[in-house]
Amino acid sequence: METGVDEVGRGAIFGVVVAGAVTIPDHQFDYLKSMGVKDSKKLSPNQRAKLDRVIRAVADCGIGLATVAEIEELNILNASLLAMERAIAQLNTFPAHCFIDGNQRLKFQEIPMIPHTTVIKGDSIYLSIAAASIIAKVWRDRLITELAQEYPKYDLARNKGYATQRHRDALSIYGITNLHRQSFCTNFLAAK
């Protein structure tokens, strides 16, 4: 078995940061590879949605998040690490070891210490990290698409909370909502 952890939404200016944790049983590796599991950034939204279902059917999956308030309080890096811990805590079986995407070690604020290895560009190296990137991306994109109905002026269904030109223009016109990351947006608006 191999457990991988990855986060999405770190560079967004709106919404939560989300992490996925996936433990793949040894006998499912070849199947997931054959289905096309790879770094979520290299897949279309439809491919990710299909693979999300495939991964969830054969692997142990957990989703964790850190709120906008936690991002503001802790900073985005520490909030991302907290979301990763929360994703691991949602797994049905606590892993003996995890592969973490990136170069930052977990701080173990909310879960017991576990051995882990950080891997730069891990979503291109470890199947479990790639799977975690997919389930986290699908989960966060669905959430932001739902929130787009409440905040229609910010083009969230298309930009998923990232700072596209239309999103930045809307910020200038309509201001910051309670789900915008204030420190990110304030810096952007001050630069204008």
pLDDT, tens digit (0-9, with 9 covering 90-100), for 19-35: 999 999 999 999 999 99
pLDDT tens column, 53-98: 999 999 999 999 999 999 999 999 999 999 999 999 999 999 999 9
On the question of pLDDT at 189 being above 70, the answer is no
pTM for this prediction: 0.94
The domain tally of the chain equals 1
In a domain, 173, yes or no: no
Q: Is 170 helix (H, G, I), strand (E, B) or coil?
A: helix
Structural domain contains residue 190: no
Residues 6+ apart with CB under 8 A from 39: 123, 124, 130, 133
- Over the stretch 166-188, which tens digit does the pLDDT of each residue have? 999 999 999 999 999 998 887 76
Residue-averaged pLDDT of the chain: 95
- Confidence at residue 144, expressed as pLDDT on a 0 to 100 scale: 97
Give yes or no for a contact between 85 and 64, defined as CB atoms under 8 angstroms apart.
yes
With beta carbons less than 8 A apart as the criterion, state whether 5 and 84 touch: yes
In this structure, what CATH number is given to the domain that contains residue 88?
3.30.420.10
Q: How confident is the model at residue 191 (pLDDT cuts 50, 70, 90)?
A: low
Q: What is the pLDDT of residue 10?
A: 94
Q: Is residue 46 a part of any domain in this protein?
A: yes
On whether residue 162 sits in a domain, the answer given is no
Has residue 118 been placed in a domain? yes
pLDDT for residue 45: 94
- pLDDT of res. 174: 93
Domain range holding 140? 2-145
| Residue in the block written with tokens 């079986």 | 93
Residue by residue, what is the 3-state secondary structure of 107-146?
Answer: CCCCCCCCCEEEECCHHHCCHHHHHHHHHHHHHHHHHHHH
Round to whole Å and give the CA distance between 136 and 62. Answer: 9
